[in-house]
Amino acid sequence: MGGYLGSYATLGLLLAVGVLFFLVAMTANRLLRTNRPSAAKSTTYECGLDPVGGDWAQAQIRYYVYAYLYVLFAVEAVFLFPWAVIFDDPGFGMTAVVEMGIFVGVLALGLLYAWRKRVLQWT
């Protein structure tokens, strides 16, 4: 097997073997095993206990606050990447560093506020 298409033929062969292996294994399993479904078997598996109540449960309110903080900080970080590309180019230097410092400082201000308001305590 050589040439441009040849390398794809190897890949194709590998894929075919993979699919075949999966099919043979699962079919063999299906043919050999016993099959007796019951209502108890098709309930949701929950650590061996019977599930109680509905599937809508409320999470602790703390989770939301953390999620909010995370969303803000994760997304604000998007500005760091273009900045990192150019900040050591000629003509930027100190100015760019100071500007990013102000930007991060404003973000840190929010975190400081959250900390002082005891939003970050997990109890």
Partner 1 sequence: MEPGYYVVLAAVLFTIGAVGVLIRRNAIVLFMCIELMLNAGNLALVTFSRINGTLDGQIMAFFVMVVAAAEVVIGLAIIMSIFRTRRSASVDDANLLKY
Partner 2 sequence: MNGFTIATPAQVLAIDVRLPDLDYAAMAPMLVLFGAACLGVLVDAFAPRQSRHTIQFALSFIALTVALLAVIREARVGSRELTADVALAIDGPTLFLQGTLAVLGIVALLLVGERALEKGGPFVSQAAIPVGSEADRRQAREEGATEVFPLTLFALSGMMLFVAANDLLTMFVALEVFSLPLYLLCALARRRRLVSQEAALKYFLLGAFASAFFIFGMALLYGFAGTVSFGGIHDAALLATTSPLLLFTGLAMVAVGLLFKIAAVPFHVWTPDVYQGAPTSVTAFMAACTKVAAFGGLLRVLYVAFDRARWDIEPVIGTIAILTMLVGAILAVTQTDIKRLLAYSSIANAGYLLVGALAFSKEGLSSAMFYLAAYGFTVIAAFAVITLVRDDDGEATHLSRWAGLGREAPLVAGVFTFLMLAFAGIPLTSGFTSKFAVFGAALGVGEAWPVALVIVGVVTSMILAFPYLRVVVMMWLSEPAEQSPTVAIPGAFTSAALMVGVLATLLLGVFPSPVLDLADRAAEFIR
Could you tell me the two tokens for 11? 């890949």
Choose among 42, 63, 44, 47: nearest CA to 55.
Answer: 44
Could you tell me the two tokens for 112? 């400081």
Q: Which member of 95, 98, 101, 120 binds partner 2 (CB under 8 A)?
A: 95
To partner 2, the closest distance from the beta carbon of 98 in angstroms equals 11
Residue 95, binding choice from partner 2, partner 1, none, Cβ under 5 to 8 Å by partner class: partner 2
To partner 1, the closest distance from the beta carbon of 75 in angstroms equals 4
Per DSSP, the three-state class of 19 is: helix
Note whether 63 binds partner 2 by CB under 8 A: no
**Residues 51 and 43 sit within 8 Å (Cβ to Cβ):** yes
Q: Which residues are near partner 2 by CB under 8 A? A: 86, 89, 91-92, 95-96, 106, 109-110, 112-113, 115-117
